[in-house]
Chain A
Amino acid sequence: MTSEPTRARTKVDIPLVGFSNKDRPSTEIINTCVHCGLCLSSCPTYRETGLEMSSPRGRIYLMKAVDEGRIGIDSEVFQEQMSQCLNCRACEAVCPSGVQYGAILEASRTQIEQARDAGRSAETPAPITAQPVLPPRPLWQEGLRRGVFDLLFQDMRIFRTFSWSMRLYQRSGLQWFARNSGILKLIRMDETETMLPPISTSFTVPQGQIFPAIGERRYSVAVLTGCIMGTAFAHVHEATIRVLQQNGCEVILPPDQGCCGALHTHGGDLDGGRELARRNIAAFEHLGVDAIVINAAGCGSTLKEYGHLLHDDTAWHARAEAFSEKIKDIHEFLTSIDMNQAGLAPLPISVTYQEPCHLAHAQRITAEPRQLLRAIPELELREMNESSLCCGSAGVYNVTQPEMAAQLGARKVKNALATGAKVIATANPGCALQLAGELRRRGEEVQVRYIVELLDESYRRKMDHS
């Protein structure tokens, strides 16, 4: 009943640059896709472009083509599509066959990076060897990437120093100058620059602090402070700690922890991500806490997948699994305990909820955030259209795919504004920056807040009144 496959190729004699064995995308996962196409309508880049290769099914098909040796990873289309994907994993949530798309995408990106690394050391493109080779990035790009991945996000001291300098940039008038002089446009950093968050005045530096529970101590929890959450969103950490305290939690911020590694694993640097994972596991595993609570969706999903990330590492795999077991998203945690409802004061505001992909799709947490918003008296939740379609932030996506990021950001904000809500609630730094950036561009007054901030405000109002 099936015709024999016919595969067209331009030049059959040139050997293909295939996948190497290290961190190879799993053939088994690739073959779990039966090409049904039910993922298409949930994919943001497919919705924007209407192109099959920009859909999850199309991208898996390209991975399959490389895996089976029909195209090479030097294919521009393959590289472009691996980069254009937001890794929002909306497709995973709707896939009937349960294809673990994130895993094969991240592996594919890593393959490309490995080949580029090899390309830097190789003199001439080699024929088929164990390690495929791609031309390296321009030196300045590579330098920037290595600086970000190997230094900035590996060492939180460097990250905090960088954040201070950014704060200085914002407060000194330099930002005003840069934005108004047109210099940003000149160096094509204008889109990216709008994403620069206003840096908090004080950073959350984990040094082993212990915040006592308010009232009876019911749980002991630890919090991962992360990178950008600890500097730009330190106020969200403070709110998180207060909300946990309000709910009978003793909150610990263990030292020696760092970035979760999401940027690395999503960006094709699985080894960099593993380095960070090991460090975090070591920092938390001996605490004996009931849960490790995470307030950023992207970090939460990465931390929950440490087991998969370290699946080849015999020394760490079991420890990683045990660590991931403890990870609880803040919304998941609060709705799983007997929450302190009595301490919530009314907040008479209209709120719409933008679902972070790594909460809704990667962690499948959709009801809990809404449940928390509805728990706040007098808060009116107005659902937006396409609330779970990616906002286009997706880590460094704004830098790598500025055009698509801007289209999706505009689409998201349009949907949010259509609800007439005064606040867009979310739960992830990337989304918060993307939404705020787009709102600022439009000159809109609508605020972007974390759900936990709204809870905190509600608890504090009650405290102030009593």
Chain B
Amino acid sequence: MLPMDHVAPADGLVAALCQALGSHAVVTSLDALRTYDADASMIVACIPDLVAVPATPQQAATAARLALQAGYPIVARGAGTGIAGGAVPVRRGLVLSFARMEQIEQVETRSRFAVVQAGVVNAELNAYLAPLGFQFAPDPSSQRASTIGGNLGTNAGGPHCLKYGVTTNHILAVELVRPDGTLVWTGDGVAEASGYDLTGVIVGSEGTFGPVTRAIVRLTPLPEANRVVLALFPSVITASAAVSAVIAAGSLPTSLEVMDHNGIRAVNGAYGLGLPEAEGTTLLIIEVDGVEDGLDDLLEQILQICRDQGAFELRPARTPAEQARVWAARKAFAGAIGRLAPAYLLVDTSVPRTRLPLMMEHVERLRQEYGVEVCNVFHAGDGNLHPLVLYDPSDADQTHRAHAIAEAVLALSIEQGGVISGEHGIGLEKQDFLPLLMSPADLQLHAAVFAVFNPTNQFNPAKIFPTATPPLELAAQRRARLHAAREPQLPVTALADTLRQVLGSAYVSEHDAQVTIQPGTVEELAASVAVCYRAGVAVVPLGGGTPPELDHTSTEVQVVILTQRLTRVCTYAPDDLTIGVEAGMTLAELHRLLAANGQQLPLDVAEADQATLGGLVAAAADGPRRAGYGTLRDWVLGMTVVEADGTLVRLGAQVVKNVSGYDLPKLLVGSHGTLGIIATVSLKVFPQPPTTATLALTCPDRASAFALVDRLAASRLQPTAVEYVEAFQATAAAVSLQVPEHIPTIEVGSPSSQTVPSPLPLLYVRAEGHPAAVERHLRELARMAGPQMASQHLEGEAESALWHELTALDASGSDPHTARIRLAVPPAELCGAVEDAGQLAVQSRLGLRLNARALNGVAYLHATGATEDLRQFYTVLAERWLHVHLLDAPPAVRAGLHPWGFVPAQDLMRTLKSELDPQGCMHPSVRFVP
């Protein structure tokens, strides 16, 4: 790039900014602006025209509006600790710094969320939450200085995300600046909003979707106890092998961090670790946490594995101060490199974790080949490598060799099924490497989403996308491709025959206006969709269930795609704790496959032998164990998707950490087939716990049940499921709640009787893990429940039978008098919502049975009664509560009702749909926005 002359920004803009923010918050002096030309990556791009440091979201929006109207690009900046150049201006413009927006606006411990401004420093949020017993779990090494806005921009990870997940798993909603300078929230913090998961795709978008001004973050209870051990190995390879062995043995520690001898040398002295520094010596930091009970035993099991794998020394960090020192040293690592060399390249790639030893061998080979020193620290549990290439920038040849190593590591990672960034992002650093990872169509889809959020290319321009292919150009290419793919147009009358040519006549059937097809491979699926696109007909993907939106009586021709022949396993190396399968595989089949390897997907749904993975993902199904494990949103790592015109694209990858491009799989989770058809899906899976048990409690009343849930939520226990079941009587209807024989059966209502026994609420709490930990959970829970609650301890067959019955409650019946409704609220409001729904049901002369994920605030309602009463009930409930979704009901009940709950950011939702599916042919009867 040529040096450019600095041009003073327009006086009018400066004056307006000063007026809105105060002159102390606007930087215009050239030498001051110079300090904004780099972040921690030290990639120097260019000096901005001006910097604004707003103090409130409104000021940020005003500053953004003024700059956007004046045609300036905007680069959002937190603390500038990013190492991919994400916060560095490339096209000058305005740097919008969030350094002064550091208010923690609201903290709701019972509902487990907090509203924070973008500039809140990660460590300070955690310092604020700790006395309340909570944490914001993502803990990037920069957390002492980095901000929540920056963390979510790069979907930051950290040493503890092996157990707790990365930033995206902890962001519930964001407030985003739009191109017109207005602010829009992507949700209200309730996870079950209808529509596309905009929050999920904004996290990790590196500021290219617009500056985020505030976020609603998830709070995670602090564990009761933890153990940290330093294990020393003779080589990086043996340490990596130990990591794989630990994970293969079925325990999932909180952290597994590796640091080689160079890394040890950098931090040893400064942090008083006193570790051996001999060539080859490799440190593995192991942390486990949970309830105190069983923790020592769990740790001992892990240590034994380390000994077996060649650890020559094991050092526990006993006191909190010692532990803090270990973690401070680990987190200061990159910053401490100044002690070893004047500059470094911190390579951040992610591979399936079993490939780590191989990658380490490659890195060692490269080190010798190029004669440049390399340090290795990495998040070993996640397969996230961080080779640090040390060099002296004043030595041009060495600099060149350092870059050559970094580039070789990227290529090798891709070769091993990995990605080019695990947690730092693409920014400026790796934009030209993206084509190695993505096909042109993949990039076009990225660009299409870019165009939805950033149509004028003013938000952090010239980032992420390869320099040769600007995103708006790529988006235009995609539109042109979609337009061209309609040719040659296919008469609808020829549709079925053409599909028969593609699939064979056995897999195409016609019924009135509906053509049903069963592709046998992903390629056949793509080819069939391309045919449908040319015919201009609607396509509706179908897994095992029947979406209520599917109108069989429609006279418009539509193609129903059954995925039940797509049942192959694509990739499954059990030690990676991931699996890739075709969309038509049933959940029951997946469970069997995983169980054979001692693993599980902690999702329990009704009719698991019918439900397919594609369908479950498209519907964002959840299960009772979300309290402990999360939901599909947290587990989907990658997908292949067939776009409207039949183009096959790959989103994400089968690695547990990935910030290489946008997190597009999030958009497909819960999209109900409206953006593309899921062909394959890659999932994170979990080791089966050594023990599981459930306490079934019969509560005297609702208040005492929820009081118990409150106490449980405030405790340091970590139950994996807390399911609440209640039935409301209505004399006109019969509701029967069947539970296994060993639980008191409740007969609710009876058509013949006017005086029925009052139904008692039931609570089922499940604990999994080390036997002592499980025992402790159940014991303590029984103590909390007190003598007024009848309790029963279930394990083994009885426990499985119970959960099978409980999830079967969710089954969509073909009962013409039943409506299934999902009601989601902040968890603190669940008790009130349940009471309200119950009263309303009784007033509406309905029988109502509900089961709720009590810690999560999600309730499933089964209402039974007359059509008009059901319609009345749903309508009133939807008026009173924001997130009410009519899952399933007979057509007469559904007719004319808007089945979806609250949809935030509706303009964005509409634009997204029309950009991705301009012809509106993907499952058109689903319309989130009324």
**Contact between B123 and A41, CB atoms less than 8 A apart:** yes
Asked whether A76 is an interface residue with its Cβ less than 8 Å from the other chain, the reply is: yes
* Distance in angstroms between the alpha carbons of A50 and B80 in the assembled complex: 12
Chain A 5-16, CB within 8 Å of chain B: the 1/0 string? 111111000000
Task: Please name all residues of chain B whose beta carbon is closer than 8 Å to the beta carbon of A37 when the two chains form the complex.
Answer: 39-40, 79-81, 142, 145-146
Contact of B144 among A75, A76, A94 (CB under 8 A): A94
Asked whether B97 is an interface residue with its Cβ less than 8 Å from the other chain, the reply is: yes
Asked whether A330 is an interface residue with its Cβ less than 8 Å from the other chain, the reply is: no
Asked whether A69 is an interface residue with its Cβ less than 8 Å from the other chain, the reply is: no
Q: Is the interface of B mostly helix, strand, loop or mixed?
A: loop
Task: Please name all residues of chain A whose beta carbon is closer than 8 Å to the beta carbon of B27 when the two chains form the complex.
Answer: 51, 53
Are A34 and B1 CB-contacts (below 8 A) given A71-B31, A96-B335, A97-B336? no
Contact of A36 among B5, B40, B46 (CB under 8 A): B40
The residue of chain B having its C-beta at the shortest distance from the C-beta of A36 within the complex is: B335
Task: Please name all residues of chain A whose beta carbon is closer than 8 Å to the beta carbon of B38 when the two chains form the complex.
Answer: 35, 61
Are A6 and B35 CB-contacts (below 8 A) given A34-B343, A41-B145, A98-B339? no
Chain A 53-82, CB within 8 Å of chain B: the 1/0 string? 100011001100100001100011110000
Asked whether A4 is an interface residue with its Cβ less than 8 Å from the other chain, the reply is: yes
**Contact between A52 and B35, CB atoms less than 8 A apart:** yes
Most buried by A among B25, B144, B334: B144
**Contact between A1 and B97, CB atoms less than 8 A apart:** no
The residue of chain A having its C-beta at the shortest distance from the C-beta of B267 within the complex is: A96
**Contact between A33 and B145, CB atoms less than 8 A apart:** no
* Distance in angstroms between the alpha carbons of A49 and B51 in the assembled complex: 13
* Distance in angstroms between the alpha carbons of A1 and B84 in the assembled complex: 10
Contact of B334 among A6, A36, A78 (CB under 8 A): A36
Asked whether A161 is an interface residue with its Cβ less than 8 Å from the other chain, the reply is: no
Q: How far is the CB of B904 from chain A (nearest CB, A)?
A: 30
Chain A 327-365, CB within 8 Å of chain B: the 1/0 string? 000000000000000000000000000000000000000
Task: Please name all residues of chain A whose beta carbon is closer than 8 Å to the beta carbon of B46 when the two chains form the complex.
Answer: 6, 8
* Distance in angstroms between the alpha carbons of A78 and B32 in the assembled complex: 8
* Distance in angstroms between the alpha carbons of A65 and B80 in the assembled complex: 18
* Distance in angstroms between the alpha carbons of A5 and B47 in the assembled complex: 10
* Distance in angstroms between the alpha carbons of A189 and B2 in the assembled complex: 50
**Contact between B3 and A6, CB atoms less than 8 A apart:** yes
Chain B 261-280, CB within 8 Å of chain A: the 1/0 string? 00000010010000000000
**Contact residues of B between 34 and 76, Cβ < 8 Å to A:** 34-36, 38-40, 42-47, 51, 53
Asked whether B4 is an interface residue with its Cβ less than 8 Å from the other chain, the reply is: yes
**Contact between A34 and B81, CB atoms less than 8 A apart:** no
Asked whether A178 is an interface residue with its Cβ less than 8 Å from the other chain, the reply is: no
Contact of A34 among B2, B267, B335 (CB under 8 A): B335
Task: Please name all residues of chain A whose beta carbon is closer than 8 Å to the beta carbon of B29 when the two chains form the complex.
Answer: 76-77
Q: How far is the CB of B14 from chain A (nearest CB, A)?
A: 16
**Contact between A50 and B97, CB atoms less than 8 A apart:** yes
**Contact between A58 and B6, CB atoms less than 8 A apart:** no
* Distance in angstroms between the alpha carbons of A115 and B403 in the assembled complex: 41
Task: Please name all residues of chain B whose beta carbon is closer than 8 Å to the beta carbon of A52 when the two chains form the complex.
Answer: 32, 35-36, 51, 80, 97, 99
**Contact between B3 and A38, CB atoms less than 8 A apart:** no
Are A5 and B44 CB-contacts (below 8 A) given A77-B29, A94-B144? yes
* Distance in angstroms between the alpha carbons of A2 and B146 in the assembled complex: 22
Asked whether B744 is an interface residue with its Cβ less than 8 Å from the other chain, the reply is: no
**Contact between A32 and B339, CB atoms less than 8 A apart:** yes
Q: How far is the CB of B60 from chain A (nearest CB, A)?
A: 12
Task: Please name all residues of chain B whose beta carbon is closer than 8 Å to the beta carbon of A8 when the two chains form the complex.
Answer: 3-6, 30, 46-47
Q: How far is the CB of A57 from chain B (nearest CB, A)?
A: 8
Task: Please name all residues of chain B whose beta carbon is closer than 8 Å to the beta carbon of A433 when the two chains form the complex.
Answer: none
The residue of chain B having its C-beta at the shortest distance from the C-beta of A65 within the complex is: B34
The residue of chain A having its C-beta at the shortest distance from the C-beta of B336 within the complex is: A96
**Contact residues of B between 835 and 881, Cβ < 8 Å to A:** none
Are A41 and B53 CB-contacts (below 8 A) given A3-B1, A6-B3, A75-B31? no
Contact of B99 among A31, A46, A61 (CB under 8 A): A46
* Distance in angstroms between the alpha carbons of A4 and B396 in the assembled complex: 13
Are A10 and B32 CB-contacts (below 8 A) given A38-B81, A50-B97? no
Q: How far is the CB of A51 from chain B (nearest CB, A)?
A: 6
Q: How far is the CB of B57 from chain A (nearest CB, A)?
A: 15
**Contact between B99 and A3, CB atoms less than 8 A apart:** no
**Contact between B335 and A76, CB atoms less than 8 A apart:** no
Task: Please name all residues of chain B whose beta carbon is closer than 8 Å to the beta carbon of A70 when the two chains form the complex.
Answer: 34
Task: Please name all residues of chain B whose beta carbon is closer than 8 Å to the beta carbon of A97 when the two chains form the complex.
Answer: 335-339
* Distance in angstroms between the alpha carbons of A386 and B342 in the assembled complex: 32
Asked whether A244 is an interface residue with its Cβ less than 8 Å from the other chain, the reply is: no
**Contact between A76 and B31, CB atoms less than 8 A apart:** yes
**Contact between A38 and B333, CB atoms less than 8 A apart:** no
Task: Please name all residues of chain B whose beta carbon is closer than 8 Å to the beta carbon of A291 when the two chains form the complex.
Answer: none
The residue of chain A having its C-beta at the shortest distance from the C-beta of B335 within the complex is: A96
Asked whether B927 is an interface residue with its Cβ less than 8 Å from the other chain, the reply is: no
Task: Please name all residues of chain B whose beta carbon is closer than 8 Å to the beta carbon of A41 when the two chains form the complex.
Answer: 79, 121, 123-124, 144-145
Task: Please name all residues of chain A whose beta carbon is closer than 8 Å to the beta carbon of B145 when the two chains form the complex.
Answer: 37-41
Are A1 and B36 CB-contacts (below 8 A) given A39-B145, A50-B99, A97-B335? no
**Contact between A78 and B31, CB atoms less than 8 A apart:** yes
* Distance in angstroms between the alpha carbons of A386 and B339 in the assembled complex: 28
Asked whether B100 is an interface residue with its Cβ less than 8 Å from the other chain, the reply is: yes
Task: Please name all residues of chain B whose beta carbon is closer than 8 Å to the beta carbon of A3 when the two chains form the complex.
Answer: 1, 43-45, 428
Q: How far is the CB of A39 from chain B (nearest CB, A)?
A: 7
Asked whether A229 is an interface residue with its Cβ less than 8 Å from the other chain, the reply is: no
**Contact between B270 and A1, CB atoms less than 8 A apart:** no
Q: How far is the CB of A434 from chain B (nearest CB, A)?
A: 22
The residue of chain A having its C-beta at the shortest distance from the C-beta of B31 within the complex is: A77
* Distance in angstroms between the alpha carbons of A241 and B4 in the assembled complex: 64
**Contact between A40 and B79, CB atoms less than 8 A apart:** yes
The residue of chain B having its C-beta at the shortest distance from the C-beta of A11 within the complex is: B5
Q: How far is the CB of A112 from chain B (nearest CB, A)?
A: 14
Task: Please name all residues of chain B whose beta carbon is closer than 8 Å to the beta carbon of A65 when the two chains form the complex.
Answer: 31, 34
Are A33 and B338 CB-contacts (below 8 A) given A1-B406, A8-B47, A61-B34? yes
* Distance in angstroms between the alpha carbons of A39 and B121 in the assembled complex: 12
Task: Please name all residues of chain B whose beta carbon is closer than 8 Å to the beta carbon of A1 when the two chains form the complex.
Answer: 43, 345, 403, 406-407, 429-430
Asked whether A99 is an interface residue with its Cβ less than 8 Å from the other chain, the reply is: yes
Asked whether B344 is an interface residue with its Cβ less than 8 Å from the other chain, the reply is: yes
Asked whether A166 is an interface residue with its Cβ less than 8 Å from the other chain, the reply is: no
**Contact residues of B between 94 and 147, Cβ < 8 Å to A:** 97, 99-100, 119, 121, 123-124, 142, 144-146
Task: Please name all residues of chain A whose beta carbon is closer than 8 Å to the beta carbon of B121 when the two chains form the complex.
Answer: 41
Task: Please name all residues of chain B whose beta carbon is closer than 8 Å to the beta carbon of A34 when the two chains form the complex.
Answer: 40, 42, 334-335, 337-338, 342-344
Most buried by B among A5, A61, A76: A5
Asked whether B332 is an interface residue with its Cβ less than 8 Å from the other chain, the reply is: yes
What is the interface of chain B, defined by CB distance below 8 A to chain A?
Answer: 1-6, 24-25, 27, 29-32, 34-36, 38-40, 42-47, 51, 53, 79-81, 97, 99-100, 119, 121, 123-124, 142, 144-146, 267, 270, 332-339, 342-345, 403, 406-407, 428-430
What is the interface of chain A, defined by CB distance below 8 A to chain B?
Answer: 1-10, 31-42, 46, 49-53, 57-58, 61-62, 65, 70-71, 75-78, 94-99
Known contacts A36-B334, A52-B32, A61-B38; 18 additional CB pairs below 8 A are: A1-B430, A4-B1, A6-B44, A8-B6, A10-B30, A31-B338, A34-B338, A35-B38, A37-B40, A37-B79, A38-B144, A41-B123, A52-B36, A52-B51, A52-B97, A52-B99, A71-B34, A97-B338
Sampled A-B contacts (10; CB under 8 Å) = A10-B30, A34-B335, A38-B142, A49-B24, A50-B100, A52-B32, A58-B35, A62-B35, A77-B29, A98-B270
10 tightest A-B contacts by CB?
Answer: A97-B338, A96-B335, A50-B99, A96-B332, A36-B335, A77-B31, A50-B100, A96-B336, A58-B35, A5-B44
